[in-house]
Chains A and B, each alone.
Chain A
């Protein structure tokens, strides 16, 4: 069973409930499929003059539906934030957003009549496609990441992970007391230079390669065999603690990677959607005034 499967089924927790993809037994998936099929059938069977494009009655119909749909889809941003009383449910909105949004690929493509060019009309279409693709990424992350995130955190919260790291730092400082100054410097540098969230790309990759803790561990391991006899034991302790910290850092970085992934796509999806809206306005204005 893949992670995605488990989402389309009723969640496998023992309490019966539906996730956003399965909402009301796929009500909006069914609606989207019906709309798409009907619009394709109509496209194939109506005979419009001179040919299918945005300017025919069917083109106008599809264009109007698509425009209204785009505006409505964008209202989810308001719905999410305007917490008003009433029988609405954001899960239902998300479900509809996903499936009806995807159906735009069919509706808008039919609206173009497959006429593309280097103009504002195709720009609007292209932007829409990018918005939808970024949306698919979002759905993929929403459907797969939470479970992996939960596994990775191992029943701890982000705050608890960070506290655990801080307490390891304290242990490191204590364990470094009996060491020679050179080692102590190494340990201190490992503590101060270790950044949990170094930058966007490192966060996404969650790599430990350039982490100060990894480096310190490598160097100490290298130095340990040649260390004086009485330094060996404390060094081993330090290395054990550093190993633990490394493992914890990996978990924390993975956690950050997941939270980043869950949000990153929105930084494309939303601005692109606004760009689409602007292009759409330009497209409509130009069609009506300058055709």
Chain B
């Protein structure tokens, strides 16, 4: 880094030098801005508080893998950036700063910014002043960590960052803060038992609401394994002397069970950081509101309420590195007078609308879509740009199919122009329901994870926008308006789908206005046998089991999939619940008020008939069981317990295709595992012996291809997808982070490196060369891998042998027919006890 400090700290006080642009903060945004200024030959200075560039990234844990999301967004910066380790990125930026001869001034803490465009004065902590025509503020939010305010918080062993967890040995370490940073630090310190650290994490809340699910699970697992401990609802009172022997210091902690004293050699506080609002406001910048999360008010060109003062990067509300770097580049272009500059993704978006019949600019299209499509009303232009980059446009002629019934697909479609017809009756293509421009369809698959429920055709020349599942979920998560509108729409559709044909839109509206969505844990009952209630529930996502108490035992009656409703029986049994209904897995139900239904049943005879017809089957089963209460056959009992084992204990109620082994046939030869390894680069994706067994049905550890795959929930490179046959697979974007392995509740994902290539089958058979068929033993792998090469460990799981002729190898290679794959239809068969 030598040589880049041109404007060396001059002696004395007073005016140092004058520049066109002063850039405060050398993170991705500031560095990129300085690089652009340097490349354009604009006089500039890059001011950095610490002794190195990009302090936030510098303080990341050693070796941390940094993503370059959003993937599709092009990088527009004079400094290079691509996903990689913390070290590789820092090196590249340091080299870039050198090569571009950026005018950097390190150790320069700015304490105040005064003045206005053409005459800004920046005062440094050492009293010096720098003047500039323009100021770019890119100081991020991490430079301002929240500190430990309790007594002892100023002790030298209290730190706010952790560079390398491998540097600490045999220490008692208290980590404060249950956010991602705190959890990652605690896990890092406790990862290697050889280091002998005793790590305790303190978390103020009850649970870890701010952390990523994968981190929380890893933390729980680490505690279960005895590697560390954590205390929730705990807050630090003070750090004081009073320990014994080698540990003179103790952290006194207030817990829900009283005061606890923890020996501590080191305290790592990860209490988050706040935007340095006071400092920014002192320069005259206005914020969007008074709350802690508020951001400065900025123009489309990042100019704050102070003319000439620009704010970019995390402080402006953009936490992603790529956004920051692009903004750095653009802001200098704007300052230089290039105000027509389009965002870097404009060419890509132009491509998206290339085939449209009307010509509009990208901004006009964004506006047209945002105002035209109802659910997108509250989405900001920047969010629009982001999700559009992963979306696709489709132009369909009259009658052309958009989706087919039973297709696999979880994207949603927004109708920009034209309209579509939904074929509501698979047997009669003439029966259709229109959906007009501005609305969406396909959202049922998004919620329930099941196949497309109907064929949809264009009703006229139609322009559609297909938004992929992940982008939609992100929109729902980040824009409350989208979530609200989507929920209302899907409830309306579900009610309409079930009762719509006989109810007027007015009735549907009334039901809708009084219904609510209830989230349920696995096993939670929402209808209890014997209760007095007539509320009706639609299973929105997940599934439910219906049970009845017979002779002190819960007998399994039926299994209800998402998209169906339950609870109408009580309308025919004087308002009494005849059975208990519980969520089989984590589910969501829509509760519809019973009294509205009762009134509608009384008023609308057609509606009454429809519902009666639907409940006839359930009534028959119910009455039959009531009648046979005394002599309830053990066969039914058996079926009900097998169904319960598979659906609940083994979680097959959320599976779409699972491997099951008939233990009356299994000879334990493990040829299924051998076949799996043989067909998949030498790593078996199933463990036959592991897993539970009930009534000779063994559910081995192998992927069930869940409706809502848990593994997909937090995959940083978005490498997990559902394939055309319903298989959930991991593509080669996997970076080996292990999130999916931690997120899978069934333990079917492993992190493994591809073993070296082994000699062929014939050389093994004839000459005993190589390890033979199946997964090679570790010793063989160790002795045969290339010396200087360590194959990366990536996530490996069953892909249902997609694309391999003949289908799943485990089933084909079973010599006795014990291995079978089953799908939801089979469970329903089990549940009802009918097998022929």
Contacts and interface: CB of A to CB of B under 8 A. Distances in A.
Interface stretch (A141-149, A216-224, A231-239): A141-149
A157 B805 CA distance: 33
A261 to B, nearest CB: 10
A142 B812 CA distance: 18
Given A12-B664, A83-B678, A17 B820 contact: yes
B679 interface: yes
Interface residues of B, number: 49
Interface in B647-693: 660, 662-669, 671, 674-675, 678-679, 689-690, 692-693
B815 A14 contact: no
Interface stretch (A50-58, A86-94, A118-126, A178-186): A86-94
A155 interface: yes
Contact of B812 (A18, A20, A89): A89
A77 B695 CA distance: 32
Contacts of B692: 155
Contact of B813 (A6, A16, A83, A153): A83
Contacts of B815: 20, 80, 90-91, 93-94
Contact of A13 (B668, B695, B773, B806): B695
Given A15-B822, A91-B815, A147 B664 contact: yes
A262 B668 CA distance: 9
Contacts of B773: 81-83
Interface residues of A, number: 40
B639 interface: yes
B635 to A, nearest CB: 10
B694 A155 contact: yes
Interface in A223-262: 259, 262
A157 B689 contact: yes
Given A7-B664, A11-B665, A259-B668, A150 B817 contact: no
Contact of A91 (B693, B694, B816): B816
A17 B663 CA distance: 13
B696 interface: yes
A19 interface: yes
A199 interface: no
A86 B675 CA distance: 13
A171 interface: no
B689 A11 contact: no
A13 B804 contact: no
Nearest to A258: B668
Interface of A: 6-7, 11-20, 23, 78, 80-83, 85-91, 93-94, 142, 145-147, 149-150, 153, 155, 157-159, 259, 262
Interface of B: 639, 642, 660, 662-669, 671, 674-675, 678-679, 689-690, 692-698, 761, 765, 772-773, 804-806, 809, 811-818, 820, 822, 826, 829-830, 833, 835-836
Of all A-B residue pairs in the complex, the 4 with the closest CB atoms, nearest first, are A83-B678, A150-B663, A91-B817, A85-B805
24 contacts: A11-B665, A14-B642, A15-B829, A17-B662, A19-B662, A19-B816, A20-B816, A80-B813, A81-B674, A81-B772, A83-B679, A83-B812, A83-B813, A85-B805, A90-B814, A90-B815, A91-B816, A94-B816, A146-B663, A146-B664, A146-B666, A146-B816, A147-B663, A150-B693
Given A15-B820, A15-B822, A20-B815, 16 more contacts: A12-B664, A13-B664, A15-B662, A18-B817, A19-B665, A80-B813, A83-B679, A83-B812, A85-B805, A87-B805, A89-B811, A90-B812, A142-B667, A150-B663, A150-B696, A153-B693
